[in-house]
Structure 1
Amino acid sequence: MDIHQLKTFVTVAREGSITRASDLLFLSQPAVSAHIKAMEDTLGILLFDRTPKGMVLTHGGHRLLVKAEDVLCSHQQFLSEATQIKGILSGKLRLGVGGHASSEALGRLLCSLSEEYPEVEVVLKHSSSLDIVSGIKAGNLDAGFYNEAGQPSGALSFIEINRFALYLAAPIEMIDPALPLNWDRLADLPWICPASSTCCGQAAEALFQAHGIRPKRIISIDSEAVTRTLIAGGVGVGLLHESVAREAKAKGDVELICETDNPVRVLFACLSGRTEERLLCEVNSIVSRETSI
């Protein structure tokens, strides 16, 4: 049994899915399944129940998950200690990046790392905010920039980079902005929404719950540029980031109906239990320093 098999076990346990685990681990699904089978054969116990809804930990699997997480944490600390003994900050930083709001902060971080710690290798993975958080928790990412529309996970230590508002936008003349909002009427209209793994998707779900509605038709679009085009074209209503919403409004393409109650925060995060590792400590210091400029 090796460290890679343990990482696979932990990732499948967290995700409850071979498919999602293979995406996060950059492994084929057969490879992930082979890791789990090899562990079960070596240990002589069943770690998961295979169900139509996914991979469910057995009682023994639950007990071993805690130990596996401890081993992975100790392994990372071992590598970090070896780096400190060498006296040179080096190693690989696996960094998740979501959306465009963090582009400037990412650029400053990469420039600073290149100048101050040229031995550090940075590997970028562009993904959704949900996948970045999952990757950090599973140990497949060391840290990441992502958009948070709700409350950050308690397992994460984070730095707020920026924040921006979200606006519900509608085609011109579809809704009279001078009248009180009729949410039941809005529910009858098509909503253009990205996946729930995005900040706009999370904010849309929060609006539905807050006002007790569920749109009769939801058009799933993962591109904000396409969302703006569809709204301007009269297809339906949807959420836009503040900068895009104001630009579209100024050009007369859309009508802004309302601003959502909570802004979206752009966060840089890593696991709380890893903040003392030298590489992450230095990276957090750089992000904090550049954010305050």
Structure 2
Amino acid sequence: MEIYQLRTFLFVARQGSITRASESLCLSQPAVSAHIKSLEEELGITLFERTPKGMILTPNGVRLFARADQMLSMHREMLDEARRIKGRLSGQVRIGSARHPSAQVLSRLLTSLADSHPDLEIVLQHGSTQDILQGIRRGSLDGGFVVNAGADSEDLHSTEVQRFGIFLAASPGMVSDARRIDWTELAGLPWLCPISGSCCGMVTERIFQSHGFRPGKLFNVDQENVTRSLIEGGVGVGLLHEESAFEAQRQGKVELLGDGPQHEARLVFSHLASRQGEVLISALASTVVALVQGPAGAAPAVP
């Protein structure tokens, strides 16, 4: 029995799908299926029931799930102890990044990790905030930069990196008065809306609820650079993060509506609170904290 087989077993059990597990583990679907088959043959029992809805644990699989989770935790603890003995961190650290963080934020973290822990292999994965949080919770990522528009989740430990405003924008001349928002007028215009679970998606829903309307025409867009291009092209109104909003305004391509941001969001670095005691996670989190505090505890400049 191999550690990678147990890890695959846990991923398939948690995600209920060979396809999703293969994506999280960066393996092919046949490889994931082979891991499960080999483990079942070695144990002599069936771990999963294959159904049209996905992979469901059998009663025997349920009994072994907790034990497999314990074994994987013990494996991580053993690796941590070995790192302590050697005095140097080694292995692989998997970091996720939502699309918002600037290249400067990422480059400073990666450079600092490389300088402090030269034996670490760093794997960087980009995605939406939802993708990164899902990866952290499922164990395919050790930590990641995500955009938080609300309260912190109890199962995560988060370090604030920077704050930024979220602005409502339209192409020049689309609204009668950009400085004074007429919500009745905006209700009649098309809106460019991110996916519901994203930072800007949640803020958009709050706007609709607080002002008592829902536009007749909505375009769902999952990338801010696409949203910005569509706003500039006069397709509709939508939300932009501060840096992108100010740049587009300076170029005369959009008008920012109202006298300030619609909401203030936070860029945070998050990892599972339950893993806080692990050597690798502790080193990763302390590196982020040092970058945020900067020299003499000063906050880093926001590009």
* TM > 0.5 fold call: yes
Shift of 1:266: 1.0
Does the C-alpha gap of structure 1 residues 279 and 46 become closer, same or farther in structure 2, counting only changes over 3 Å?
closer
Distance, in Å, in 2 between the alignment partners of 1:179 and 1:106 is 36
> What does residue 226 of structure 2 align with?
226
Q: What secondary structure, in the 3-state scheme, does the structure 1 residue paired with 2:257 have?
A: strand
Distance, in Å, in 1 between the alignment partners of 2:210 and 2:15 is 28
Distance, in Å, in 1 between the alignment partners of 2:52 and 2:209 is 30
CA contact (8 A) 2:45 2:60 kept: no
> What does residue 290 of structure 1 align with?
291
Considering only aligned residues, what root-mean-square deviation do their CA atoms show, in Å? 2.8
CA contact (8 A) 1:10 1:138 kept: no
Amino acid in structure 2 at the alignment position of 1:71:
M
How many residue pairs end up in the alignment? Answer: 290
CA contact (8 A) 1:136 1:270 kept: yes
> What does residue 301 of structure 2 align with?
none
Does the C-alpha gap of structure 1 residues 80 and 213 become closer, same or farther in structure 2, counting only changes over 3 Å?
farther
Q: What secondary structure, in the 3-state scheme, does the structure 1 residue paired with 2:249 have?
A: helix
Residue 93 of structure 2 corresponds to residue 93 of structure 1? yes
Q: What secondary structure, in the 3-state scheme, does the structure 2 residue paired with 1:189 have?
A: coil
> What does residue 274 of structure 2 align with?
273
Which whole-Å deviations, capped at 9, do the CAs of 1:122-149 have from their partners, x for residues lacking one? 1212222222222222222222122222
Q: What secondary structure, in the 3-state scheme, does the structure 1 residue paired with 2:51 have?
A: strand
Distance, in Å, in 1 between the alignment partners of 2:74 and 2:102 is 31
Which whole-Å deviations, capped at 9, do the CAs of 1:181-228 have from their partners, x for residues lacking one? 12xx64543322333454223433444455555444332333323321
Q: What secondary structure, in the 3-state scheme, does the structure 2 residue paired with 1:195 have?
A: coil
Distance, in Å, in 2 between the alignment partners of 1:34 and 1:148 is 38
What 5-or-longer segments of structure 2 have no aligned partner? 295-303
Shift of 1:275: 1.8
> What does residue 175 of structure 1 align with?
175
Distance, in Å, in 2 between the alignment partners of 1:228 and 1:200 is 13
Distance, in Å, in 2 between the alignment partners of 1:8 and 1:81 is 24
Which whole-Å deviations, capped at 9, do the CAs of 1:104-124 have from their partners, x for residues lacking one? 232222222222222222121
CA contact (8 A) 1:192 1:236 kept: yes
> What does residue 122 of structure 2 align with?
122
Does the C-alpha gap of structure 1 residues 242 and 62 become closer, same or farther in structure 2, counting only changes over 3 Å?
farther
Distance, in Å, in 1 between the alignment partners of 2:64 and 2:160 is 35
Superposed, 1:95-244 pairs within 5 Å as: 95-176=95-176, 177=178, 178-182=180-184, 186-196=186-196, 198-211=198-211, 213-244=213-244
CA contact (8 A) 2:12 2:21 kept: yes
Distance, in Å, in 1 between the alignment partners of 2:290 and 2:79 is 26
Does the C-alpha gap of structure 1 residues 260 and 91 become closer, same or farther in structure 2, counting only changes over 3 Å?
same
Shift of 1:73: 1.9
Does the C-alpha gap of structure 1 residues 212 and 291 become closer, same or farther in structure 2, counting only changes over 3 Å?
same
Amino acid in structure 2 at the alignment position of 1:92:
Q
Instruction: Choose 140-149 or 76-85, whichever is displaced more.
Output: 140-149
Residue 67 of structure 2 corresponds to residue 80 of structure 1? no
Shift of 1:67: 3.4
Distance, in Å, in 1 between the alignment partners of 2:198 and 2:236 is 19
> What does residue 14 of structure 1 align with?
14
Could you state the TM-score of these two structures normalised by the residue count of structure 1?
A: 0.85
